[in-house]
Amino acid sequence: MKRTLTFVLAFVLLLSVAITAHAEDKSVTIGASNTLTTLNPLAMDNTEVVKYACSLTFLPLLELDSSLNFVPQLAKSITTEDNLTFTVTLQDGAKWSDGTPVTAEDVEFTLILGADPASFNVSLAMYMIDGTDDDGFIEAGAEHIDGIQVIDDRTLTIRTKWETALYTFNNNFGRYLLPVPKHVLSGIPREEFLTLSWFNKPDVISGPYFITEADLNHYVHYEANPDYFLGAPKIKYLNLQVVSGSQLLAGLQSGEIDLVQQTMGSIPIEDYAAVRALDNITAVSGTPVTNESIFINTVNVPDVRIRRALLLGMDRTSMFDALLEGNGELVDGFLVSASPYYSDALGMTAYDPEEAKRLVDEAAADGAKTVYTWYVNSNESTWASAVEYFAAMYEEIGLKIEIRTVDLATLMNIAGNCEHDIMSVEYTYAPVDPYTDVAWLLGGEGSWTGYATDATNEALALSQKLTDNAAIAEQYLIVDQAMQNDVPMISGWVLSTLGAVSNRLTGVKPDVFGTFIDVQNWDIQ
């Protein structure tokens, strides 16, 4: 009996060690279909894949959940009494991985870096902060911004130049400001920040995962932060794997990919049925908020008749019915039906090739160009097919479209330099805050559209002063009517993008917003 008991105890010990080892080696792979431009939160572009890849390591102040509520991350709350001064209160237990508390000075330090010309973060609207110039800059090397006041270790106030709705502040600064550690980085010359290799393998972080290795075109490997202040992650390893959209189905089927989140990985629409049929996967349709937006550079396409012909000569309904199979909706303008500010009064512009041809003929007779270049994201295969059909439709009304298919990083560079005539990209406008993106996209010279009018500027400004949803909707209706009339932007269609998660995972639901809020609680059955 003693030998038997010894054997049983030894077996239990070995089993315990095996279970512990298995728990420590848990690994999850996330499929992404767009390459990353950076892992540096001070150099983020406006793509969601970069925002989420960075925020696994450096937490935002707030994040949107799947119900479109702002929930705490580093910040416990953000409040305002006058839509001008915003009080940011940090969570009491927020700390860096080395045990140092996250402080209001860290937030101020990051905002200053974002406003310094040497380390300017293009993804943040610093121009909104009082104390910066019209472009959002401060004097190079400045150590303070007049509109930012540190009250104590956990509290600071940020004053804006004009009235700003709380939802806009929360989305713009709450979600996209990822504070970095002042006590680690304060001695580095500012001109080095945008190319600082430390961000590719930082040793002091606020988020749930360290980056251990990265090849931006192919993968990012993460390892759990055991000292994460919201709780040590149950999954030790996360891997962000960059593949083409057409490879996501095979990866989900084989088990090599465990998760596809709707804004990081774009499952081709033609694969939706096959993904839904997989036994090892749960497919989740996201709220239709991802707008296949067509941006017309009004500097390069100055004749409004040509722009209106592009809208009227596009049979969106036929393409939607043929290619999307009901996975989304059609709208005009920026707002989708999920937005609290959407208005049915806008209606939808009908396909009218005869009027489109008349407009082209009239504009051409006055010397307008009839040949234009259209840039398309190579990872959006279904949309790329639709653009080919649209180009054929345009031939019939007298317009020649030269389609150029490029990867997302190249597309963002082309759009950022305003080198396009027309470009299209899946753009997710936060339904609770259309202002941030719309005001930027309609920012006049230098924006993707090059478009702005007194009427749209006034409507957007007024939307920031109102609190009644119906009154705010009236202002966005003015903006969307301008999209119908002046056509700097066309909504091709709105996707209900498909996410997918392996059935071996628990605590994970892919959605357009909120997927990673509780990543520390994910587990493997």
Q: Domains (ranges, CATH) in the chain?
A: 27-32+208-286+498-524 (3.40.190.10), 48-197 (3.90.76.10), 290-495 (3.10.105.10)
**Lowest pLDDT segment from 10-14, 40-44, 65-69, 217-221:** 10-14
User: 383-413: per-residue pLDDT in tens?
Assistant: 999 999 999 999 999 999 999 999 988 999 9
- pLDDT bin (cut points 50, 70, 90) of residue 16 is very low
In this predicted structure, what is the pLDDT of residue 289? 86
Task: Give mean pLDDT, residues 150-172.
Answer: 95
More confident residue, 408 or 257: 257
Backbone angles phi, psi at 446, to 5 degrees: 95, -15
Q: How far is CA 64 from CA 172, 388, 412, 511, in A?
A: 12, 36, 24, 11
Is residue 510 within 8 Å of 285, Cβ to Cβ? no
User: Does the structure show a pLDDT above 70 at 17?
Assistant: no
CA pair distance 215, 222, nearest whole angstrom: 12
- pLDDT bin (cut points 50, 70, 90) of residue 68 is confident
Is residue 211 within 8 Å of 220, Cβ to Cβ? yes
E strands in 349-388: 371-377
Task: Give mean pLDDT, residues 31-44.
Answer: 91
In this predicted structure, what is the pLDDT of residue 15? 42
User: 270-312: per-residue pLDDT in tens?
Assistant: 899 999 999 999 999 988 888 999 999 999 999 999 999 999 9
Is residue 390 within 8 Å of 314, Cβ to Cβ? yes
In this predicted structure, what is the pLDDT of residue 19? 40
User: Does the structure show a pLDDT above 90 at 147?
Assistant: yes
In this predicted structure, what is the pLDDT of residue 18? 39
User: Does the structure show a pLDDT above 60 at 340?
Assistant: yes
Which DSSP helix (H) or strand (E) runs through 292?
Answer: strand 290-296
For the four alpha carbons of 38, 40, 42 and 47, in that order, the dihedral sign comes to positive
Instruction: Give the β-pairing of 400-406 and 371-377.
Output: parallel
The sheet carrying 328-329 orders its strands as 328-329, 489-495, 290-296, 422-428, 371-377, 400-406
In this predicted structure, what is the pLDDT of residue 24? 59
Residue from 186, 200, 262, 243 nearest 34 by CA: 243
More confident residue, 6 or 105: 105
Angle, helix 353-365 to helix 304-312, in steps of 10 degrees: 160
**Lowest pLDDT segment from 9-23, 94-108, 337-351:** 9-23
Is residue 61 within 8 Å of 180, Cβ to Cβ? no
User: Does the structure show a pLDDT above 60 at 2?
Assistant: no
- pLDDT bin (cut points 50, 70, 90) of residue 382 is confident
More confident residue, 4 or 269: 269
User: 419-462: per-residue pLDDT in tens?
Assistant: 999 999 999 888 889 998 899 899 999 999 999 999 999 999 99
Task: Give mean pLDDT, residues 8-35.
Answer: 62
